[in-house]
Amino acid sequence: GQQVMQIPQYQHVQEGEDFTTYCNSSTTLSNIQWYKQRPGGHPVFLIQLVKSGEVKKQKRLTFQFGEAKKNSSLHITATQTTDVGTYFCAGTNNTNAGKSTFGDGTTLTVKP
């Protein structure tokens, strides 16, 4: 079945440093979404990428979707303590009943 691998599992950074998490799917995706989950909370939708090679920005966050629509990345510039949490990618293949497969998540901690 479809697998989505996400690395790294954990990332510890000093406030102000950059951070990147990567997702790779075993199959071509229809779209990919990114979510952020704070400790004790539920996943919150950040963004969806649909087009091959798409790049979207949200303030300090940059999201990319690979040309082959099998990989994606989330990059945070100049991290802040408010960025702490676990970031999940979720790949959707519309031929698979629209189910989304989640990566294992990258947990980001930021040292002030």
Partner 1 sequence: GAVVSQHPSRVICKSGTSVKIECRSLDFQATTMFWYRQFPKQSLMLMATSNEGSKATYEQGVEKDKFLINHASLTLSTLTVTSAHPEDSSFYICSARDSLNSPLHFGNGTRLTVT
* Residues found near partner 1 in the complex (CB under 8 A): 30-31, 33, 35, 41-45, 48, 50, 88, 90, 94, 97-105, 107
CB of 61 to partner 1, least distance (A): 15
Residues in the chain: 112
CB closer to partner 1 out of 37 and 77: 37
Residues sharing a CB contact under 8 Å with residue 83, sequence separation 6 or more, in sequence order = 19, 76, 108, 110
CB of 110 to partner 1, least distance (A): 18
CB of 45 to partner 1, least distance (A): 5
Say which residue the tokens 């599992």 belong to: 9
CB closer to partner 1 out of 77 and 107: 107
The residue among 36, 11, 22 whose CA lies nearest residue 87 is 36
Contact of 61 with 75, CB cutoff 8 Å: yes
Contact of 5 with 67, CB cutoff 8 Å: no
CB closer to partner 1 out of 80 and 94: 94
CB of 35 to partner 1, least distance (A): 8
